[in-house]
Amino acid sequence: MSVKIRLARRGRKKQAIYDVVVADARAPRDGRFIEKLGTYNPNTNPASININNERALTWLLNGAQPTDTVKAMLSYRGVMLKKHLQIGVLKGAITQEQADAKFNAWISEKDAKIEGKKDKLATAKADARAKALAAEAAKNQARLDAIKAREDEQKALLAAAEAANNPAAAEAAAEEAAPEATETPAEGGEAEA
């Protein structure tokens, strides 16, 4: 019996989530499986990969063949590296302590890369949000300025229409618009007389 480590689809239409399963190669894609190792969600950024690394390593060492996609995921999680190091230990090329030290160094470096990517995505999202808010504020201010200009224009047109209909009111408006400096000496002159 040929055993494969592969994906089994589940989830809604256009929102697929996959189970990482160990199954007989002859079984249907979403059918019978031997063991569920974890899940894979490609809808998140970065994609969520939750796999039981120890069980996956056990199956790999027992001869299970991963599909291309699962092999890439196992490499991403470090299971393929651990298998490679474990084979080196079994052959006597390195000791278990050296293998563990190499694997732990790789894991810490990989975790730093993943956190860096998450932080970069978060800052990019925050920057895009701030830029959108600034653009929206500028657009709202432009709208307010246009409305104010339109209201000022309407007031000027109403004043011109009133002046045309009522010449006495136009003269009164002109006197109100005249500077106070010219009115003050006239008032002062009248007070003396």
Buried-state track 85-103, b at ≥16 Cβ within 10 A, e below 16: bbebeeeeeeeeeebeebb
Nearest to 93 by CA among 106, 105, 84: 84
pLDDT range class, residue 90, cuts 50, 70, 90:
confident
pLDDT range class, residue 185, cuts 50, 70, 90:
low
Predicted confidence at residue 141, as pLDDT, reads 92
Query: Tell me, what DSSP letter sits at residue 25?
Result: T
Q: Structure tokens of 109?
A: 């470096």
Predicted confidence at residue 179, as pLDDT, reads 56
Cα 115 to Cα 111, 118, 121, 124, distances in angstroms: 6, 5, 10, 14
Residue range 70-90: average pLDDT? 90
Domains and CATH numbers, the chain: 1-82 (3.30.1320.10), 94-177 (no CATH)
Task: Say whether pTM exceeds 0.85.
Answer: no
Residue 193 clears pLDDT 50, i.e. is over it = no
**Cα 30 to Cα 23: distance, rounded to the nearest angstrom:** 10
Q: Write down the H helix ranges in 29-95.
A: 53-61, 68-77, 79-91
Q: 65 and 59 in contact (C-beta within 8 Å)?
A: no
More confident call, 178 vs 153: 153
pLDDT, one tens digit per residue, over 68-78 is 999 999 999 88
In the beta sheet, which residues pair with residue 35? 22
**Cα 142 to Cα 76: distance, rounded to the nearest angstrom:** 50
Residue 184 clears pLDDT 70, i.e. is over it = no
Residue 122 clears pLDDT 60, i.e. is over it = yes
Residue range 71-97: average pLDDT? 89
